[in-house]
Structure 1
Amino acid sequence: MLVDPQDSLLLIVDVQQRLAPAVASHRAVEARIATLIRGARRLAIPVLASEQYPQGLGPTVPALAQLLAPAERIAKRAFSCAAEPGFLAALRESGRGQVVICGMEAHVCLLQTAIELVEAGFVVFAVADALGSRDPANREAALARMAGQGIEVVTGEMVLFEWLRRSDHEGFRDLLGLIK
């Protein structure tokens, strides 16, 4: 199954100021997420972002926060976004059935969110090069477990090109500029 630009939403999980520096390769992960946000914006793909207990872990890192509207951020205490009151309702209101998920940490909040979203009837795509954990072994274990749960493991470029579908898409040149 391909990521459908008419049916997908980008979900950024917990890329926060006090957590991000501890995540392996966090700068590369943040850069890939920024590219996904910019691509989503150019193609009118809805974007949501969660913040795990922002009073303790801080807000979303500045490089991503500047790309997000305040209304697109949801504070949470549950590890899984899907377990946070009101989150599933907000997601269903978007009318989208696919969720492209990225962020931190892969083996905790991303994993729990992805599994519970599948259980709630959503198709989930985990962007392998746009998610991280403090320990790379935890990230790899999370990706393997997600794949075993029916979650599609993709890369950021896969998502962008699947959103485009064609080289004559009006947004092709813009997104190609983001990728290069």
Structure 2
Amino acid sequence: MLLSSERSVLVVVDIQEKLMPAIAESARVERNAATLLKGAALLGVPAFATEQYPKGLGPTAASLRALLPPDGVVEKISFSAAREPAFLERLERIGRRQIVLAGSEAHVCVMQTALSLVGLGFEVVLVADAVSSRVPANAELGIARMRAAGATIVSTEMVLFEWMERSDIPAFKAVLDLIR
């Protein structure tokens, strides 16, 4: 199964200002999430972010907020975004079944969202180099559990090249510049 820019939606889970300082390799996670958001914009892939209890954890990181549309955030209190009506309504409006996930924490909100989406029949793709947790071992366990449940595990570059499909598209050079 290859990713498709026509079937995918990118969801950035809970990369929030007050949470990220505690996340292992947070700079990598934020950088790769930004690369995915920029690539999604260049290739016509809808994207949005979730925020877990923003009153406590703050808003989405500023570097990512700047890449989202004005209505690009869905607030939540459930660890699984798929247990929030506003999240499911957003996915329904977008009308795509291939969900590409990035974010934190890998073993809590990202994993619970992924498992819920798999249970609802979505095709879930986890971008492993764009997720982490406070404790790296927890992230590894979360990724292993998502894989076992049927999520496909990929990297940022895999996503971008699969979304592009070909090297002769107008956005090729701009997307390539994102990963150089």
Q: Same fold (TM over 0.5)?
A: yes
The DSSP-based 3-state class of the residue aligned with 2:27 is helix
Task: Find the aligned partners of 1:143 and 1:57 in 2 and give their Cα distance.
Answer: 23
Paired position in structure 1 for 2:129: 129
Please give the root-mean-square deviation of Cα atoms over the aligned residues, in Å: 0.7
1:94-150 superposed Cα distances (whole Å, 9 cap, x missing partner): 011100000000000000000101111110000000001000000100111011000
Question: Structure 1 stretches (4+) deviating beyond 2 angstroms?
Answer: none
1:56-135 equivalences in 2 (<5 Å): 56-135=56-135
Task: Find the aligned partners of 1:86 and 1:51 in 2 and give their Cα distance.
Answer: 12
Paired position in structure 2 for 1:6: 6
Residues 50 and 73 in structure 2, CA contact (< 8 A), matched pair in contact too: yes
Identity, in percent, stands at 50
Task: Find the aligned partners of 2:125 and 2:163 in 1 and give their Cα distance.
Answer: 13
TM-score of the superposed pair, with normalisation by structure 2 = 0.98
Task: Find the aligned partners of 2:151 and 2:104 in 1 and give their Cα distance.
Answer: 17
TM-score of the superposed pair, with normalisation by structure 1 = 0.98
Give the letter aligned to residue 4 of structure 1. Answer: S
Task: Find the aligned partners of 1:175 and 1:110 in 2 and give their Cα distance.
Answer: 25
Task: Find the aligned partners of 1:48 and 1:62 in 2 and give their Cα distance.
Answer: 14
Where does the alignment leave 5 or more consecutive residues of structure 2 unmatched?
A: none
Paired position in structure 2 for 1:171: 171
Give the letter aligned to residue 91 of structure 2. Answer: L
How far off is 1:176 after superposition? 0.4
How far off is 1:69 after superposition? 2.1
Q: How many residues align?
A: 180
